[in-house]
Amino acid sequence: MKSIEVCFSPELIHLHEVEGKIVVVVDIFRATSTMVAALASGVKEILPFADLEACRAMQAEGFLIGGERNGLTAPGFEMGNSPVAYLSGEYAGRKLAMTTTNGTQAIEKSKGAAQILIGAFPNLQATVSYIQDKGLDVLVHCAGWKGRFNLEDSLYAGALVKSLESTHQADEDGALAMKSLFEREGHQLKSYLSKASHAKRLQNHGIESDIDFCLTLDLYQDVVKVDDRGFLVRI
Ligand code: MLT
């Protein structure tokens, strides 16, 4: 059996070992859900940025630029961070440079892992099958909210721990706690997570449609990975 553990925030990643592991970065509302949706809708590849201005500068290189801070589109950016905005296929073939409040920071802080995968509910089963194929230990890296625990990323971690229980041992308390939470609440994701603080933030911004999309299971059979160049690609 391999092992699986959960890191609840990028501020805690220094307490975990990433080397030799598959790190699954998750930001359910909305960064990783948007990354999976954009690539499934034809976007060629995505370059994530922690820094807003470095991302903005990619427009001059012909990239589509997507930026979000505090749930809102960053000033002067073509795209915000809405997964629904990509579903029409309008941006097929484009390269996307993307920066968000938490999700792209978590990708940055996962460097050094054997592999970095992008986790979201719309590609949960595809990620599970890929991990079981690879046979490596797993660390679920929750993006959280500005360094704090959040419910939606942690519940996704519980879904992954539960789905991998035949191949990966959950022998640390974070993984055990989230597995129990998913066993209790996993059948009612939408009603349970509508209480989450960031869901409320998005509702206050009138962005309900994204919430529904982000909580839809297994829309895509895509595994999304960070390649050797640092780009997010479908594999
Ligand atoms: C983030 O990175 O914090 C989120 O994706 C924020 C959002 O999209 O609302």
Ligand 1 mean position, distance from CA 3 (Å): 28
Q: Average pLDDT of 69-84? A: 96
Give the list of residues 6+ apart from residue 184 with CB closer than 8 angstroms, or none.
Answer: none
41 class by beta-carbon count within 10 Å (0-12 exposed, 13-18 middle, 19+ buried)? middle
Ligand 1 mean position, distance from CA 166 (Å): 32
Q: Average pLDDT of 117-140? A: 98
pLDDT mean across residues, the chain: 97
φ/ψ of 23, rounded to 5, equals -100, 125
Compare 206 and 48 and report the one with higher pLDDT: 48
d(CA 232, CA 172) in angstroms, rounded, equals 29
pLDDT the model gives residue 180: 98
Q: Average pLDDT of 187-212? A: 94
Q: Average pLDDT of 125-132? A: 98
95-99, strands of its sheet edge to edge: 72-73, 64-69, 95-99, 45-49, 232-234, 224-226, 115-119, 22-26, 138-142, 2-7, 168-169
Ligand 1 mean position, distance from CA 141 (Å): 15
pLDDT higher than 90, residue 87: yes
- Show the ligand 1 pocket: residues with CB < 6 angstroms: 27, 29-31, 68, 71, 81, 100-103, 143
pLDDT higher than 90, residue 199: yes
d(CA 178, CA 140) in angstroms, rounded, equals 11
- The closest alpha carbon to 209, from 71, 119, 84, belongs to 84
Ligand 1 mean position, distance from CA 145 (Å): 8
Q: Which residues make beta-bridge pairs with 7?
A: 141
Q: Residues 68, 152, 193, 235: is their CA dihedral positive or negative?
A: positive
Q: What is the DSSP code (8-state) at residue 43?
A: -
**Is the whole model's pTM more than 0.75, yes or no?**
yes
d(CA 71, CA 59) in angstroms, rounded, equals 21
pLDDT higher than 90, residue 217: yes
pLDDT the model gives residue 149: 98
Give the list of residues 6+ apart from residue 6 with CB closer than 8 angstroms, or none.
Answer: 139, 140, 142, 154, 157, 161, 172, 174, 175, 178
pLDDT the model gives residue 146: 97
- 134-176 pLDDT, tens digit each: 999 999 999 999 999 999 999 999 999 999 999 999 989 999 9
Q: Which residues make beta-bridge pairs with 169?
A: 3
pLDDT the model gives residue 30: 98
Going by CA atoms, what residue is nearest to atom 9 of ligand 1? 71
pLDDT the model gives residue 206: 87
pLDDT the model gives residue 55: 98
The three-class DSSP label of residue 232 is strand
Q: Which H helix or E strand runs over 208?
A: helix 208-214
Q: Average pLDDT of 99-107? A: 98
- 6-17 pLDDT, tens digit each: 999 999 999 999
Give the list of residues 6+ apart from residue 138 with CB closer than 8 angstroms, or none.
Answer: 2, 3, 4, 5, 21, 22, 23, 24, 131, 160, 164, 168
φ/ψ of 95, rounded to 5, equals -95, 135
